[in-house]
Structures are given as C-alpha cells and as structure tokens.
Structure 1
Amino acid sequence: MTFGKGSHLHLIDGSAFIFRAYHALPPLTRKTDGLPVGAVAGFCNMLWKYLEEARGDEAPTHAAVVFDHSARTFRNEIYKDYKANRPDPPEDLRPQFPLTREATRAFNVACLEVEDFEADDIIAALACQARNAGGRVTIVSSDKDLMQLVGDGVEMLDPMKDKRIGREEVREKFGVYPEKVTDVQALAGDSIDNVPGAPGIGIKTAAQLIEEYGDLETLLARAGEIKQPKRRQTLIDHAENIRVSKRLVTLDCDSAPVDMTLESLELREPDPAKLLDFLAEMQFRTLANRVAQRFDAAPPKIEEPLPAPAAGATAATPAPELPPIDPAGYVTIRDTEALAPWLAAIAQQGEVAIDLQLDRLDELQAELIGIALSPGVGLGAYIPLGHNGGGDGLFGAAAEGQMARAAALAALRPMLEDAAVLKLGHDIKRDAKFLAREGIRLAPAGDVMLLSYALAGGAHGHGLDELAGLHLNHTRAPLKDLLGSGKSAVTFAALAPETAARPAAEEAEIVWRLWQRLRPQLPASRVTTVYETLERPLIPVLAQMESRGITIEPQQLSRMSGEFGQKLAGIEDEIYGIAGERFNIGSPKQLGEILFGKLGFAQGRKAGKSGALSTAVDVLEDLAAEGHVLPGRVLDWRAVSKLKATYTDALQTYVNPDTGRVHTSYAIAGASTGRLASTEPNLQNIPIRTEEGRRIREAFVAPEGRRIVSLDYSQIELRILAHVADIPALKQAFREGIDIHAMTASQMFGVPVERMDPETRRRAKAINFGVIYGISSFGLARNLRIPRAEAQAFIDTYFQRFPEIRDYMERTVEEAKRQGFVTTLFGRRIYVPGIESKGPAQAGARRQAINAPIQGAAADIIRRAMIRMPEAIAGLPAEMLLQVHDELVFEADEAAVEPLIERARAVMAGAAEPAVKLSVPLVVEGGAGRSWAAAH
C-alpha cells in the first residue's frame, strides 16, 4: 500500500508504554521459571487495547512501535552529562525489554530502534517523512519533548487521558506554538534529562522572553537590553549552555537513519497462531482468551497458575478435571494488610470472580454487606463490611472483625477498574450498578449467566444454582439453613462474618468455575459473536439506563386510580346484575360456577390438577365471541383491574426517594428470543393501543426544560419476515413505503389499495401479525370474531398469495427438529424444547420455532442499536431511559430534541449492518413531547 494522501501513520512511544506498565501494575512472574513479565503483560494489554479501539477516521493505516535502543546516544557526545541523573532501570525490568520487542512483532506491528538514537529521533524522522508524503501522523505519547513536532498533519495522543494534543494544547503547556517549543526548552532546561538551560528561568518566563524577542538567537544577541539585572546576566553568562541545550532538545527530522520505508509500516492483522503462541509462552491467559475470541480461534492451553492464597488458605492442586468444591480454602479478610496478597494474586491471575452481598434487590438503595472474591479452584475470600451482629440492621451494633467500608472500596478500586483484570460474575450488571454509586467503573466484566444464555437460550434456566447443577454437578446448601425460616428467620447481615464467609465465597468460586467451563464452549458452538456483540456490551448500557430512571407524576396516577376504581365498580354492578348474584369475580372457581353451573355455558377445558373448569382469557374470549355478554364484561373487569393494580396504584410505590424517579430493571437473559424483560416495575406490558395505556404513559414526564423522545421501529418483525422468507411482494412494498396491511388485503381479497375499507385492512393486519406467531385458524377466528372455517379460508388464501412464508415455516420447523434450536440472522441460538413431542405441546413448539428467528432478530437489532447509542449521542444533553419492545425512550433538553432524533434514528435504521444487509429498509418513527404519551 503506497503511503500518501489518506494514509494515517501512528507512531507509538514503546518505551513510555513499558515504563507506564511497569510502574502501574504489581509485579508478575511467569509461573514456570519465575521470569518477571509484569511490564510485558501491561505493554501487551495496552497495545492490544489501543489497536482494537482505534476506529473511524482515527484508525491507523500504518503503524510502528518505537523504542530507545540504549541509554547512551549521540547527545552524550554533545554534552557528556546528558541524562546522567537518570537511575538505571530496575533489575526486574531489564529482562523484559527484549520481550516487549517480541510482543510487538507478535502483534505484527513494525518494531523500530536505532543504535545511538532515541525513540524521539526515530519518531521525528518518520513523522516528517509521512507529513511530506501527504499523510497524517498521530504520535501516541504524552512526552513533552515530542510536542515540537505537532503541526500540519501531525498531532499527538495522550493514551492515558485519551486526549488529543494539537497546536493549541502545545501553546497551553509551553506558552508558545510548537515551532518555538525548543527555544523555550533550551532556556528552561530539564532536570530529569540533565539539560542545563539557564538557571532560574522556568517555562513561563522562557515563553514570555521568546514571545517578546521572537526566537532564541535574537534573545541571546539582545540579552544586554534586558532591564532585570539578574535575568540579563544569567542569559549572558550561560549563553553557550543555552545553545547546547537547544541542540539537545531539538529533534532533527534528518538525523536518525531509518532504513524502513513508510510502505513497510502498513498495519496488518496479526497472525493469530503466532500471537497466541507468544501469549501462551508468557502465560497471559486473559489476553490470550480475548485474542482467541477476536479471531474465533481456540484459546491456547496454558499451565494453570493458581494464585498464592492468603494466610490460612489452602490452594487446590491443578488437575485436568476440577476437584469438588471444598470450602477449606475460604478465608475471611478483615483488614487491608490481609487483602493485599489477594489483590497481588488477582493481578497475576488476570481474572477474578466477584460477588457483592447487598441487603436488598434494589441496587440503588441497597447497603453493602460484604464482598466475595475467588481467583481460582479452592480459593475464596470474604470481606465483611456491614454485618450488624444480629441487630435489626438499623439500630443494631456493627459486628466485630469487619473492614471499614471506605477502606475496603479504596483498596479494591484499582483492581475493579483495572482493564487488565477480568471481573467475572453472575448477572454482574447488578454489581456494576451498585459500584457505580460509589464512583467505581467495573471494567472489564464477564458474565456466566450471559455465557449460558448465549450457549443455551431457551434450553433451560440460567440461575446460578441451576448452572452449578448442570455444569459442575454441585448443589449449594439452602441459605435458609443458615437464615432460618418464618418468624425466626434472620437477614444475611445478621450472620456473623465468619459464618457468612462460606456461602458468599462459595458463590464466587462457582462463578469462577462456570467461567472456565462455559467460556471455551463459545467458539465450538459458534456463538462467540453473540456473547461479545449482543450480550456483554449491553451490561453497562442497561446499568446506566436503570440508574437514570424516568420521572412520573404520582398525582396523575392517583387520579387515574380513582377513576379506574369507579369504572370497576360500574362493571361489577353489571356483572352481578347479569349473574343474578354477587360473587368474587377474581376467583376462577366462583366465576366457573357462575358460567358453567348457574348459566350453563358450554364447558371448556379443565385448569391444571384442580379439576376446575378453566376461565382463562382464551376461554372467555371464545364465549364472548359466541355472543355471551358476561364473559366479555369479565374480560373488561380484568383489564381495568390489572391496569389499576399493576400501574396506577403500584407505580407510585416505585419512586426512589433519593432520585424522585422510577428505576425499572432489565433482565438480559429473560426471554429465549433475546427480548428484554422489565421488572420492578414492569414497563413492557403497558397497553400500547388502548386509551387507558395512553393515559398511563401521560404520567411519565420530563422535567422542566426537557422533553421525552420516543423512537420506534415500524413493523420490524414483518420486515424481517419479508427478508428471511424472501417474499418479493412484501419486500417491494416495504421499499416503496406502501401500506403493508392494505397491500396484503389487496393481494388476498382483490380490493384495490386506494379503495381499501378499514375492516378489510384490519383483517389483513390480524393475519399479517398472526402468521408471524404461527396462529391457528382457531386463534384467528377468535381474534376476528368469525367462524373457524372462514378463518381457515383466510389463512389458506394468505399462503397461496405468499407461498414463500409456508416454505419458510416448514424449513424452520425442520431445522428446529434436526438441531433442537433455530438461529437468528445474527447467530443467536434459540432452543425449542418439545419440538419432537406430540399433541398440543408440539403445536406450541412449532409456533415458537417459526416465530423465534423473527422476534429474535428484531431483539438483536434493537440490542445492537442500544449498544451503539451512547457513543452516537455523546455530547448531546440527552440520555436513553427505557427500552420497550421495539421502542427506545430518551430524555433530552428541548434544544437537543431534533439532533437526538436525527442521530438515534440513523443508529436504529442501520443497526443490522454490517453484520447483516437486510433486503428491506428499517423505518424508525420518532416523536417528542413533555410526556411519553405525547412523544409516542
């Protein structure tokens, strides 16, 4: 690749990376021979992170990591005491220098060093060459000596602060623009590099002098004109040293002999085998696993390095099969001195399972009772923080032998935020939300619940106990054995710290073992991408959304509760009048006696093991379709009762007293299809199309000066069906923006679109959506209130007009029978239990198999949009608050509404790409208002 206009060269200051890694991370040695590798580990993680995160216009086309060859350079010939004050590198760092060069080559990045020259000289030479060739240059370093190179086509990036350094930033630091930086440095000198300069003159004074006199030589020539006697004499007496200093600090673009062409620095993907071999040799397990999953390769086998346990703990002996869980190695950590060796061991291991013990489910109001850690087999530590010695948690005295909460979090913070240590958990979003309250950003995180969900969505549950039984053949002792039951039950906080240590540490070790067991299964099951792009990145997004919450107006909900109460009373009077007596309408048994006993309606199926006749929704709908009034009024009563109990009454109790907002919680691994489930409170089931549902949405409001913004996919599941079933008529209609339900009605019933009546369109709409869910003639007849034979005729006509849908359905069902699961466009596996069974169970499984790839793809698309959204709307005074089915709800300043809608709509419309190129457009409708109802 020829280097020229459009090329972007990144020059990475390798020596700075090494020293930063060495001083930032705890010592680490290779287990097999004790070789120090801590700086190499940090270097590799920094290089990998940098290369992986450089995106868009800032991504490099060419790159090189540049190192100092040795301490002595040509500058020592100019001034023998140059850098004489610098101490020798630490003994344990010296053997790591050549390993960082090996690491750079393993990453397939050019590795440069030249004898007698500093890394800065090589960077200068290459930067000038690249700029002269018409390309851009980014120097990845915070070294002030390199700031003289900043200018047209050349900028710097401080990787620790993620801060770009251009001409203005250089002026802010030195008081002058880059072309005069060496003049200022020559005057000010540098005690670290032993550059003499002019005694008593610092950066600020030097900048003032250069700005006043124009340049260094003019200043020295006119030094006698300076009015301050001391400064005048200093410049006269030290003029020669100042000129020498200028030679020492100046980077000459033509001085360093670089024998590599710019074209040879083209950035290429690493050879996975070569890189993994190096990481395995270094025993960098965590990074090796990340690299393996990035390239969809098998992780290398690395000898298991178990951390050294704290005093009193017993480490398990590594074995091909993990030994049974044994709590003998669990310890209680009561002070920072005892915690220190565990943190050092965790840094060495590179991963640790964590579990926060909270006193309630609501992370935003919970108090921290303790923290459990497990970095390996047989190892578990519990840090008690909030046990109350058997008191009631409010007035009870704190139990003895606990760490101070602030001290514990301060000691743990570096590890919890360390990008080189993978934190493992089960539903780790909960831990991340709580820690965010403490200002701690948990990163990076792995979640065994989501691993299981990616591997086996729909096959079984993903709770910790179920996973421990399935994969570890381990059953935990019930917690009620410790807490008791009934009136004598105590809280976890009431347990003595040493008693609480065992179940807490056991939970953490189970998480650690599950990670080792499940993580390697991702590539073989071809769901690595699902976990890495649809599950794991969603954790921080949802944690932020849940923490933000949304404002409601309790007074409006109270008024609605009163109105619903009056409406219920009226419906109840009607029901009692029709039944001829009063009874408990909410009792299925009493309702059944009225319907099938007193009134003699046709009896349906029995409900469960009780033998009582069912009064489920579908039964009442069938009776209402036959013209019976009472079942219809009971359905109305149930709908209003649910709205009152679930929303207008209950929502008011969910207002957080600290934030004044309602904070729902999203279950990532709830539905098998990937749809999110909302709980405490459930905001997913507020009716969309009814007047009551709209009024409930009116109670969700934005604060003064802000607006609620809603963006909703239009008919996304029908669009996905058109794509996956390859239906030309539907695809063309979606591309042309035709009313899809009117078009379907026209196709089925021969009525021109322009003369379509509402009833015919409604029937086509019911069939369109019904087919997605594998609706039967019985179900369609109930929905449309028509005879079953007529409904079957509609379905037959539908399949005649769109035969591709039947082909898709049969193909998908066969796939489910053959594999046991179906797959979405994005690779999500959705298991379909019962697909080989007989009778009603098979019918249900068949419907699930048909719908799952469509609903799952829709869920995957909105997940992809949510994951991309924070970056897309960054800088706007706007936040994403809710996800409800195919809708995203935001809150924004009034002035930011239009740009928010524009950016969010673009993200949502393009969310399938580049993974999937849909053959139909995704249309996103947006609106804004003071309330959710006004925005939707």
Structure 2
Amino acid sequence: MTSTFGKGCHLHLIDGSAFIFRAYHALPPLTRKSDGLPIGAVSGFCNMLQRYVTDNHGADAPTHLAVIFDKGSHTFRNDLYDLYKANREAMPEDLRPQIPLTRAATEAFNIACKEIEGYEADDIIATLAVQARDAGGRVTIVSSDKDLMQLVGDGVEMLDAMKNRRIDRDGVFEKFGVFPERVVDVQALAGDSVDNVPGAPGIGIKTAALLINEYGDLDTLLERAGEIKQPKRRQTLTEKRDQIELSRKLVQLDRDTPLDFTLDDLELRDPDPDRLMAFLAEMEFRTLTRRIADQLGIDPPVIAEKPAQETAETPPEQPPFDAAAYECVHDADALRGWIDRIRDRGRVAVDTETTGLDEMVAGLVGISLCVDAGSACYIPLTHKAGATDDLFGSDQLAEGQMPLDEALALLKPVLEDDAILKIGQNMKYDAKILARHGIDVAPVDDTMLMSYAMHGGEHGHGMDFLSDTYLDHRPIPIKPLLGSGKSAITFDRVAVDDATRYAAEDADITLRLWETFKPQLHRAGVTTVYETLERPLIPVLAQMEMHGIKVDRDTLSRMSNAFAQKMAGLEADLHDMAGRDFNVQSPAQVGAVLFEDMGLEGGKKTKTGQWSTPANVLEDLATEHEFAARVLDYRQLQKLKSTYTDALQTHINAETGRVHTSYSITGANTGRLASTDPNLQNIPVRTEEGRRIREAFVAEPGNVLLSLDYSQIELRILAHIAGIDALKAAFADGQDIHAMTASEMFDVPLEEMTPEVRRRAKAINFGVIYGISGFGLARNLRIPRAEAQGFIDRYFERFPGIRTYMDDTIAFAKEHGYVQTLFGRRIHTPEINAKGPHAGFARRAAINAPIQGTAADVIRRAMIRMPDAIDGLPARMLLQVHDELLFEVAGDAVDATIAAARRTMEGAADPAVKLDVKLTVDAGKGSNWAEAH
C-alpha cells in the first residue's frame, strides 16, 4: 500500500513523559471525589494536550500527531549495561496510578498513542523522525530532552512547549558546543549522571566539545589520544576507551526501531465526542468537560456530585479536645484492644515520655497512642510510687502499670510493621528511645518536618506553637507538672492520672497536626522536599547519633591546660600593652582601657553606664589596633577551653565512652543541620588551636577515621546558579579557584601569586556568597574598610553575573515571600520588605539561602543514600559538619569505603538536578579527626 505521507506533511511527536511530569510537578494535587483516586497529573496532561491541539494553526500545524511513551523500564540498553538508569529515583506513589490514565486520555482525544516493548520513547521518536524526513516531510519533536538533540536538522526541529522556544541546529550548538551530528560523540565523553551513562571521568560537556571540535569526531580522538598534552586527560581517554565506546552505544538513539504501525496511522483525527466526553466525565473533570463540549458544540454530560470519601486529602471534622476522655492502659488486654484498632486503621500517632532530653540516657516512662482525633491513650510503664512533692519519694513502681517488657513485646510487631504508619512530632527522638529497647520504628511521618518543609523561615516548629497556630488549641503545659529550679522532678515522679491527660493529649495533637499538614504538602508544592530530603533523614541521623564518636578525655585535659597557659601569656601581654593590670574577662574593664585610657573611638555603654565590647566592635578596632586583636585572641581561647576542652569531657557517655551529639533537622532555615549537646559543628577550624580540638576525636583500636569533604561546594553552586562562565571553566579545568579569582581581580599572573593575595581572594569568594559588606570583609581581613570595599567593588566588575543573581534573587523574594533551592526547598523571607537594619540582613539571607540551601540539600541526599552505599563494609557514618561527613572504618576497608562514599557524595545531586559544575570530594584518613580532615 502506498503511503500518503510525504512533502507538505508535518509530523509532531510529543514526548509523553515530559508532559506527564510537567503536569504532575506544576499543578496542585487533585483527587477524584468519588473514590479519592489521584488525578492531578491526568488533569494537567489533558489540559496540555487539548491546548496543544487547538492552539496549533497555520504553517506549523501538525498533519500527523502522536504521543510517544516509554513501555516498562527495561530496554536493550540495560542488556548492554546493567547499571543504565540504575540511580533513577522511584516514581512518586501518587503518580504511579495516573500513568495508564494518561494513555487512556491520549486515546480519548483520538490521538495516536505509541510505545514499544524493549525500546525507549526516544528511540521510537528517532525512528519516526528519520522516516518522516526521508519521506520529504517536516518533523517537530515536542520535548526539551537533550538526548533528542542529535536528531535536529534537515527538516527536524524541537519545540520546548513549556517555554514556547524552538530548537534548531544553532540551538543545539548553543547547548553542546557542537552541531547535532556530533552530539553523540560529546555525550559519549561527558556521560550522563541522570541516566548513569559512565562517559570519560573528569570530562564534562565543554571539554568534550573542545576535543571533538579539535579532532573532528570521537573515533579520530580515541585513535589520536596519545597526542593529547594534558597527562590526566590523555590517560583517561586511553584507559577508558571501552567505557567511552559503551557510552556511545547507550546515548545513540536507535533509528531502526521495529514499529508495528506506519506514519499514515498517525494522521491527525478529530476526537470522537462521545468517547472523549465519557472519559472526561469518568475522571470527573467538570471544568474541562464543559470547555471542550463548548468547542465541539455539544452539551456536556452531567457529572453527579458525589460525597467526598474520607481521605488524607480531605481530613474529617475534628472533635473538640477532651482530656478526660483519654484512656489509661493498665493491662495487656486493654493494650491488645488498642493494637487491634491500630491494625484496622493502618496508622497511629506515637509519643514517648521519658526522664530527660538526652535520648542516650533517658529512661522510658510511658507511651501514648492515638488512632483517631480525640481517641488516645497513655501506657504508664515506670512511674515511681509516692507523691510528686515527696522529698523521699519511693523508687518502687507505682501500682496499675504494665510491666515494661510485656508492653514493649506487644507493641514491637505493630511499631515495626511496614503496613502501619507511625506518626510523630520530632520522631527521631522517640525512635532512638525505642531503639534502645530493641524496637526499630518504621515507617514514620513527622509533623515537625512537614511544618518545616512548608514553613521554613516563617516560624518555629515545636508542637505547642503548631497546636496553637494550626489547631487553635493550647496544650496542657509541662511546667506545672515538673516544677522548676531545685524542686523540679522528672516525669516518672508525675502522678499517673496527670501524666495520662498530658501525654495522651500530645499524641492526639500530633495526629490532628498530621491530618492538617499531610494534604497541605501537595498544595504547598513541597511533597518532594518532604519525601526526599526530610523524612528519609530520620533513621539515618538516629543511627549516626547512637553510634557517637570516641573522645579521648586525656587529650582534652592536656589541651585545657595548654589553653590556660596560653591565655595567661596573652593576659600578661595585654597588661603590658595597657600599662596596668585589669580583668581581661571583664568587657567593661576592657572597654575602659580601649575608650578611656587609649582614647579610641567607637565605644558604646550599656544602660548601667558600663563599657560594652562585643565581638563586632573589637573586630572593627582590630583592623587597626593590636590590643583589640589580642583581646579577640584571648576570648577565642577562652571559648575553646570552656565550650570544648572542658565541656566535652562532661558529654562523654559513661556506658559507651563516646560523645553522642544530637542533630536538629529543622535547626536552620536553609536546610543545614544543627548540632547540639554538644555542638560539634562550631568547632573553629580557622585557627591552629581550634583545629587541634579535633585531635581529641579518635578511632577505636583497629579502626581509622575517614573525612570526606565537598570541595568548595557553595562556590560551585554559585557558579551554576549565577551562570559565571569564568568560575565554571576554572572548576572544569581543576584550577585553584582562589588563585584564579585573585589573578582575575588583581591582575596578578598565577605564577606570581602570593599566599596573602590568595587569602584575600578566598575571603572575598566566600564572603560574597554571604552578601558580605565592606565592614564585614574589613573585619575578616583586618584591613581598612575602604580597601575592603574596593575589593568587593572590583569583584562585581570582574564577575557581573553575581550582581545580576543577587538582584534577581532579592526581586524574586520580594515578589513571592520566599527563595528556593535547586531541589525545591522553600526558604521564606518574611522580612525581605522590612525597613531599617533588618532589611540588610534579610537581603543577605535571601541571597545566600539558595546557595547554602542547595549545598545542604546535596549533603542530605548523600547522607540518605549512604547506608546503602556502605552496606556490607565495616564502616559507620558518625558525624556531619556542614560539607563534611566523618566515618569510622576498619583499617582494611579504608579504600573501599572512600570509593563508595565519594561516589555517593559526588553523585548526590543526580538525577534531580544536573549541575554545570562537577562536585568533587576530598578524602582523608587518620587515627583522629585532625589527621583525617
């Protein structure tokens, strides 16, 4: 049969997956009222499809049209390379049931819907594009997928429908640095972390394009690799030739995919009104049904209003709080009744009551459960006999409690059941308490983290605040139960009846917050943030905190003595400089020396008339006066001694001999973790004394500590976000970024660079990220303010893209009230439009947040993946300090652990974000943290 497709025909090929994911992420969630089925992506897909067909007129209108889908995840490429697309993240649960509905939608619009087993949608598109071009027709590929750019030219173009931008040969060159016929060569070298195509290690898109343009094509380049001057690049191309050629096979689209249809089958057809209306009515799309019916000139079908089922998207009406209705569970039969209710419901809010806030030593006093709003109980376990005000209260257990072991034995199967969701407020705390009793709580949801994902930067996330704000209910306060000061008691001394009302209410509040927050995650557009960056971190951090890290008490003691001696020496020097004795630890007396004896300007007095000498005042003075600099040095040593070498000794756990810090997931607006009790993230590393503190953190005998640290991650992210080509190129070429900056700014050749010039460039590099002012840089470098401001001005002249990024970010924050990381985390900026001194701080915070927040998200993703990455190795992840992860590893597993951890960290952004600048990780090892870092 002769084909009718030929000259004058225009084939449009829509990348179905791109439409689906665009619809899913761009639109708020929607569930079908009759049964709660997720249909948000289907609704968006239908709207996009309908608009695309009706809006395409004139010379570019399609005569033939098809939507192309992937069928299954296994293709011939997986047979070539079993790790192909192995790091793709799982499809969101609420999207999975919508995928077949998008196929049905395409067919309902009477548009060809095609997929082939064993081949990707891109292969089908490639084959159809080649057939249509060879037949003399035009082709428009509706997609922005870079893998399809190898097809562009000779009548084939791409259309990014979301940006309404056409991509021709010049557009491909702009993207890849080569024209379409050489795109495969570049991709084979650069690889693709999203699809897990290995490529040539260390060679990115720009370098690959340079090489291909120089040598003509990939085969010639590989044959002449020995001629390349750069040793590392020459070695990579020689040793990794097989890997590069495999990568070429993986990225090369199959243009001969066996099709069971022809181009003629794709001819544009009008929809069948009855079939289309039936589908839209079945989905209960009332607005879209009416709009399309109007276009078709028919009456829309009647879609019956059905009562919404009770789902997480439509929380039930909540009953009033009634503390008297809470049940105290005294025996196993009563607890079994609650367990049956939990299994029937499939979820339970859980809260533990303990004797303290340190999860590693606190005793478990009781457990509260809630299965429905207003229906909660408390299981008292270890309350002590005697009145709360009894000075000699008995250590015997109060009557009417279940034996601890019996209660935990009954609860363990439920708390560990994968089919039952455990809901908590700060679930990490409860999980660690229960883990010490042999219960591995999973799966979990955390209302504190839900609030953080939605409202980071707006307010706190403690339960009392959330209850008051979102439930209009003030919880029973703890202070009247425990007292304060010397008369304070622990929770095991609280009377069981009082404890029941208080503890059960906590579980009740937690469940109600969950019912309130869970559907709001979708509406706020932060479901992915919560599900990929917040919730999965709970078990990872809990395990790290329970591992702890060994600290050598003797080393700390020796350091304390050394610091005391050095402080005494500084004190003597300061007395000599002042010409008299004074108390160095007294801010008022230091102020008297500076502003009265020495007559310096800039001093301020408190309301009581005493001189005030805060750090910022001393830092300003230290740029010109040695005395102020010495006072700062003294205070730094004093802080090291009191905060670390003295205080750390009190944090050593008597049972484990290790220090167990606690990480707060919600501790910073940007997504950075905060470390408390003790804070191990603020140990100074800029001074020799500060770095020495890390010598006290040691490995157990036979083990070593490994430190893996992202190299200049925030500068790399800045280069990506702000589009700074000079920084991108420097990172790609492995240059010393601070030396490069200094050379750019100060016109100093790299070979003539001095350490002092580089140090100043480094301070500016990092300072600019934080929106540093001339005053701030002057303090950091201890130089005059005018000189510091001159450095900053010159920096913006050399890298104008940074100023553009700053201006655009502030404008976005002012318009939307938040800024966003590359992974979708929103950091709210409520004071961005404020006047006065707060305005400058708010602007600096808004500028920094996308950069620091993206870096924080990257290391969170690495930490979440790390347990699987090092599974089977004798290694444990112990600490996270901003951009650094610290491990304790058996001596014979060092290399394997470094390889696994580095691979995980360097690929942590993938596949969600493809950075223009490669992340690199430095690794070190040693018997203590100082050696390893």
Give the match for residue 906 of structure 1. 903
Matches within 5 A, 1:824-835: 824-835=821-832
Q: What is the percentage of aligned positions where both structures have the same residue?
A: 59
Give the match for residue 335 of structure 2. 339
Give the match for residue 722 of structure 1. 719
Matches within 5 A, 1:207-246: none
Give the match for residue 547 of structure 2. 548
Give the match for residue 619 of structure 1. 617
Matches within 5 A, 1:153-302: 301-302=308-309
- 8 Å CA contact retained: 1:538, 1:863: yes
Give the match for residue 368 of structure 2. 372
- Tell me the SS of whatever aligns to 1:874: coil
2: CA distance, partners of 1:489 / 1:793? 57
1: CA distance, partners of 2:883 / 2:392? 42
In the alignment, structure 1 residue 752 sits paired with structure 2 residue 759: no
Deviation string for 1:2-28 (max 9, x for gaps)? xxxxxxxxxxxxxxxxxxxxxxxxxxx
Q: Describe the shift of the 1:520–1:366 C-alpha distance in structure 2 as closer, same or farther (beyond 3 A).
A: same
Deviation string for 1:814-847 (max 9, x for gaps)? 1111111100000001112311111211000010
Give the match for residue 410 of structure 2. 411
1: CA distance, partners of 2:381 / 2:547? 27
- 8 Å CA contact retained: 2:348, 2:370: yes
2: CA distance, partners of 1:892 / 1:302? 52
Give the match for residue 887 of structure 2. 890
Deviation string for 1:311-362 (max 9, x for gaps)? xxxxxxx995424322132010011101112111111111111110011112
- 8 Å CA contact retained: 1:393, 1:494: no
Gaps in structure 1 of 5+ consecutive residues: 1-31, 34-50, 62-103, 110-129, 131-262, 264-272, 279-299, 306-317
User: What is the CA-CA distance between 1:301 and the residue it aligns to?
Assistant: 4.7
2: CA distance, partners of 1:432 / 1:802? 48
- Tell me the SS of whatever aligns to 1:381: strand
User: What is the CA-CA distance between 1:584 and the residue it aligns to?
Assistant: 4.0
Give the match for residue 688 of structure 1. 685
User: What is the CA-CA distance between 1:487 and the residue it aligns to?
Assistant: 3.9
How many residue pairs are counted as aligned between the two chains? 646
Give the match for residue 636 of structure 1. 633
Give the match for residue 490 of structure 1. 489
User: What is the CA-CA distance between 1:544 and the residue it aligns to?
Assistant: 0.5
Give the match for residue 303 of structure 2. none
User: What is the CA-CA distance between 1:447 and the residue it aligns to?
Assistant: 0.5
The AA in structure 2 aligned to 1:586 is Q
Give the match for residue 932 of structure 2. 935
- 8 Å CA contact retained: 1:389, 1:495: no
- 8 Å CA contact retained: 2:739, 2:750: yes
Deviation string for 1:598-648 (max 9, x for gaps)? 4432134566x7675541111101112122x33222211111011111111
- Tell me the SS of whatever aligns to 2:655: coil
Matches within 5 A, 1:66-85: none
- 8 Å CA contact retained: 1:355, 1:372: yes
Give the match for residue 424 of structure 1. 423
User: What is the CA-CA distance between 1:392 and the residue it aligns to?
Assistant: 7.4
Larger relative CO (CA 8 A, sep 6+): 1 or 2?
Answer: 2
The AA in structure 1 aligned to 2:624 is E
Give the match for residue 816 of structure 2. 819
- 8 Å CA contact retained: 1:603, 1:613: no
1: CA distance, partners of 2:793 / 2:878? 43
Q: Describe the shift of the 1:482–1:908 C-alpha distance in structure 2 as closer, same or farther (beyond 3 A).
A: same
In the alignment, structure 1 residue 358 sits paired with structure 2 residue 354: yes
Give the match for residue 4 of structure 1. none
1: CA distance, partners of 2:567 / 2:553? 21
2: CA distance, partners of 1:529 / 1:442? 22
2: CA distance, partners of 1:921 / 1:606? 51
Give the match for residue 602 of structure 1. 601
- 8 Å CA contact retained: 1:393, 1:493: no
In the alignment, structure 1 residue 765 sits paired with structure 2 residue 762: yes
1: CA distance, partners of 2:460 / 2:392? 33
- 8 Å CA contact retained: 2:315, 2:515: no
- Tell me the SS of whatever aligns to 2:700: coil
In the alignment, structure 1 residue 841 sits paired with structure 2 residue 838: yes
User: What is the CA-CA distance between 1:596 and the residue it aligns to?
Assistant: 2.8
- 8 Å CA contact retained: 2:622, 2:628: yes
1: CA distance, partners of 2:382 / 2:601? 61
1: CA distance, partners of 2:570 / 2:367? 53
Tell me the TM-score normalised to structure 1 length.
0.66
Give the match for residue 475 of structure 2. 476
The AA in structure 1 aligned to 2:685 is I
Gaps in structure 2 of 5+ consecutive residues: 1-33, 36-71, 87-95, 102-117, 119-259, 261-277, 284-306
The AA in structure 2 aligned to 1:875 is G
2: CA distance, partners of 1:60 / 1:720? 24
- Tell me the SS of whatever aligns to 1:698: helix
Give the match for residue 513 of structure 1. 512
2: CA distance, partners of 1:786 / 1:60? 52
Give the match for residue 26 of structure 1. none
Give the match for residue 329 of structure 1. 325
- Tell me the SS of whatever aligns to 1:709: strand
In the alignment, structure 1 residue 775 sits paired with structure 2 residue 772: yes
Give the match for residue 457 of structure 2. 458
Give the match for residue 344 of structure 2. 348
Give the match for residue 534 of structure 2. 535
User: What is the CA-CA distance between 1:594 and the residue it aligns to?
Assistant: 3.8
The AA in structure 2 aligned to 1:302 is Q
- 8 Å CA contact retained: 2:624, 2:784: no
Tell me the TM-score normalised to structure 2 length.
0.66
Q: Describe the shift of the 1:520–1:706 C-alpha distance in structure 2 as closer, same or farther (beyond 3 A).
A: same
Choose 1 or 2 for highest CA Rg: 1
- 8 Å CA contact retained: 1:623, 1:631: yes
- Tell me the SS of whatever aligns to 2:742: helix
The AA in structure 1 aligned to 2:382 is G
In the alignment, structure 1 residue 303 sits paired with structure 2 residue 310: yes
Matches within 5 A, 1:585-596: 585-596=584-595
Deviation string for 1:204-248 (max 9, x for gaps)? xxxxxxxxxxxxxxxxxxxxxxxxxxxxxxxxxxxxxxxxxxxxx
Among 664, 672, 681, the alignment partner of 2:669 is 672
The AA in structure 1 aligned to 2:438 is G
1: CA distance, partners of 2:817 / 2:433? 38
Give the match for residue 915 of structure 1. 912
The AA in structure 1 aligned to 2:910 is E
User: What is the CA-CA distance between 1:394 and the residue it aligns to?
Assistant: 9.2
Q: Describe the shift of the 1:381–1:611 C-alpha distance in structure 2 as closer, same or farther (beyond 3 A).
A: farther
- 8 Å CA contact retained: 1:550, 1:661: yes
Deviation string for 1:244-282 (max 9, x for gaps)? xxxxxxxxxxxxxxxxxxx9xxxxxxxxx99xx99xxxx
User: What is the CA-CA distance between 1:866 and the residue it aligns to?
Assistant: 0.3
- 8 Å CA contact retained: 1:673, 1:856: yes
User: What is the CA-CA distance between 1:60 and the residue it aligns to?
Assistant: 13
Deviation string for 1:87-136 (max 9, x for gaps)? xxxxxxxxxxxxxxxxx999979xxxxxxxxxxxxxxxxxxxx9xxxxxx
- Tell me the SS of whatever aligns to 1:708: strand
2: CA distance, partners of 1:850 / 1:696? 32
Deviation string for 1:406-429 (max 9, x for gaps)? 000011111101111111111100
User: What is the CA-CA distance between 1:863 and the residue it aligns to?
Assistant: 0.4
- Tell me the SS of whatever aligns to 1:650: helix
- 8 Å CA contact retained: 1:328, 1:378: no
2: CA distance, partners of 1:424 / 1:527? 19
2: CA distance, partners of 1:787 / 1:693? 26
User: What is the CA-CA distance between 1:574 and the residue it aligns to?
Assistant: 2.7
- Tell me the SS of whatever aligns to 1:630: helix
Q: Describe the shift of the 1:327–1:558 C-alpha distance in structure 2 as closer, same or farther (beyond 3 A).
A: same
The AA in structure 1 aligned to 2:416 is E
| Alpha-carbon RMSD | 2.9
Q: Describe the shift of the 1:487–1:729 C-alpha distance in structure 2 as closer, same or farther (beyond 3 A).
A: closer
